[in-house]
Amino acid sequence: MSKKIAIVEDEPAILANYCDLFRREGYEVTGYADRPSALRGFAESLPDLAILDIGLGEEVEGGFELCRELRSRSSTLPIIFLTARDSDWDAISGLRLGADDYLTKEISLPHLSARVAALFRRQRALEAGAQESPKVRTAGHLSIDEARFRVTWRGEPVDLTITEFWMVSALSRYPGQVKSRDQLMQEASILVDDPTITSYIRRIRRKFQQVDESFDAIQTVYGVGYRWNNG
């Protein structure tokens, strides 16, 4: 049985394009143009994954409302924000509401579908539980579960989005080696500008620091990029 994806997007052309993409990839896709219709659809049955725009027609923060609604119904449902808003503030708000990733609209369809696939993979791994042998890798105090997209630092879990996870994964794979911003973007399946990468890194550091204040494993190599330092 194919997975159900709900896409809420007020721009019909984009909605149609996304729907086409995911249908081609074999998902069952339902598109909604505004919040009320999406709510009605969700009331009938919850999708397996939701892609939400934030501004929905007149409702400037309709996407946030929907996210809150979905999270209250299911704590595991993967939610992706896909929006034209690129401010840190919106990203932080969206992630705080429990979204699994926050993407801006210049993301390419392959990058988007890579995330969707990853989220489903993660869900499958979580459902399988301990039956599947975990692919856990360690680097210093860091341990990375590539299957479940789970990261722990000194045994404490660190809550990362898919994009952030990929970045940490890429950095920590070869500790001490400098990863340029371009490389990081490639690994994390995004295409953004340098300052956005900088703010991604800053956000990742902050998340680790919430677990361990003395965290400084991610080092900036000015003019080149970043490297993971096991210390």
Partner 1 sequence: MAEIRQGRGWSLRRKLVLITLLPLLAAGWWGARYLEGLERQLRQAEERTQTELGRVMAAVVAHSTLPLEIPPATAGGHLWAPRLATPPQLDGYADDWQPLQHQLPTHTLHNGTLRVAAHGTDLWLLLEVRDSHPNWCSPLPTASLKCDHLRLDLQTADGSLNVWRLATSAPGWIETHRWGGSPGFPFTIQGQWRETRGGYRVELRIIGGTAARALAVEAIDLEENRPTETPALLSLAIQPESWQRLLEPLLAPGQSLQLTDRNGRLLVRAGDATVSPRLLDESPGWLFGLYRLVTGMARSEVSPPPPRSVLKEWAGATPPAVVWRPIRESRLALLTSLHLLHNGEGEELRLVLARTGAQLLLLQETAMARLVGAGTVIYLLTVALLLAYATRLSWRVRRLRDAVSASISEQGQPLHTPPPLPKGKDELGDLGRAFDDLLERLRHYTRYLEVLASRLSHELRTPTAVVRSSLDNLETLPLPPEAGTYARRAREGVVRMERLVTRLGEARRLETALHSTPRRRLALDSLLRDLVEGYRMSHGEQRVVGKIVSPLPVVGAADLIAQMMDKLVENAIDFSPERSTVRIEAEQTDRNAVIRVINEGPPLPAEGPDLFGSLVSIRRREGAHLGLGLFVVRMIVEYHGGSLSARNLEQPTGVAFIVELPLPEERGQDPSNGRGATPHE
Q: Which of 60, 128, 136, 221 binds partner 1 (CB under 8 A)?
A: 221
CA dihedral 52, 99, 73, 58 (to 10 degrees): -30
106: tokens are 């210049």
For the bound state, the minimum distance from the C-beta of residue 112 to partner 1, rounded and expressed in Å, comes to 9
Q: Is 177 in the site for partner 1 (CB under 8 A)?
A: no
Phi/psi for 38 (5° steps) reads -65, -40
Q: Which of 2, 76, 198, 210 binds partner 1 (CB under 8 A)?
A: 198
For the bound state, the minimum distance from the C-beta of residue 43 to partner 1, rounded and expressed in Å, comes to 28
Q: Is 84 in the site for partner 1 (CB under 8 A)?
A: yes
Only segment of 39-47, 60-68, 108-116, 140-148 that touches partner 1 (CB under 8 A) = 108-116
For the bound state, the minimum distance from the C-beta of residue 227 to partner 1, rounded and expressed in Å, comes to 12
Only segment of 140-148, 153-161, 168-176, 217-225 that touches partner 1 (CB under 8 A) = 217-225
Q: Which of 108, 138, 210, 230 binds partner 1 (CB under 8 A)?
A: 108
Phi/psi for 144 (5° steps) reads -125, 125
Burial class of 146 by CB neighbour count within 10 A (0 to 12, 13 to 18, 19+): middle
Phi/psi for 166 (5° steps) reads -60, -40
The answer to whether the CB of 60 falls within 8 A of the CB of 10 is no
Q: Is 183 in the site for partner 1 (CB under 8 A)?
A: no
Q: Report which residue type is found at 215.
A: F
Q: Is 231 in the site for partner 1 (CB under 8 A)?
A: no
Q: Is 104 in the site for partner 1 (CB under 8 A)?
A: yes
What part of residues 126-165 is at the interface with partner 1 (CB under 8 A)? none
Helix (H, G, I), strand (E, B) or coil at 190: coil
Only segment of 8-16, 39-47, 58-66, 141-149 that touches partner 1 (CB under 8 A) = 8-16
How many other C-beta atoms can be found within 10 angstroms of the C-beta atom of residue 1? 5
Q: Is 96 in the site for partner 1 (CB under 8 A)?
A: no
Query: Which residues, 6+ apart, have CB-to-CB distance to 134 below 8 Å?
Result: 145, 147, 148
Burial class of 26 by CB neighbour count within 10 A (0 to 12, 13 to 18, 19+): exposed
For partner 1 (CB under 8 A), the number of binding residues is 35
Q: Is 20 in the site for partner 1 (CB under 8 A)?
A: yes
Positions that interact with partner 1 (CB under 8 A): 11, 13-14, 17-18, 20-21, 24, 84-89, 104-106, 108-110, 180, 191-196, 198-199, 202, 220-224
